[in-house]
Amino acid sequence: MTNDPTDPGAVAPKTQRPCPICRKPAVDRYRPFCSARCADVDLGRWFTEAYRIPGAEAEEAEDPPPAGPPRGPDDDG
Ligand SMILES: [Zn+2]
Tell me, what's the pLDDT at 30?
Answer: 95
CA of 11 to the centre of ligand 1 (A): 28
Tell me, what's the pLDDT at 65?
Answer: 77
Domains annotated on the chain, with CATH: 16-51 (3.30.50.10)
CA of 71 to the centre of ligand 1 (A): 58
> Are 30 and 18 spatial neighbours (Cβ–Cβ below 8 Å)?
no
Taking the chain (77 residues) in consecutive chunks of 10 residues, what is each chunk's mean pLDDT?
Answer: 60 73 94 95 89 64 75 71
- Whether the model pTM is above 0.75: no
CA of 52 to the centre of ligand 1 (A): 25
Please enumerate in sequence order all residues whose Cβ is within 8 A of that of 25, keeping only pairs 6 or more positions apart, or say none. Answer: 16, 18, 19, 34
Q: Mark the residues whose beta carbon lies below 5 A from ion ligand 1.
A: 19, 21-22, 24, 34, 38
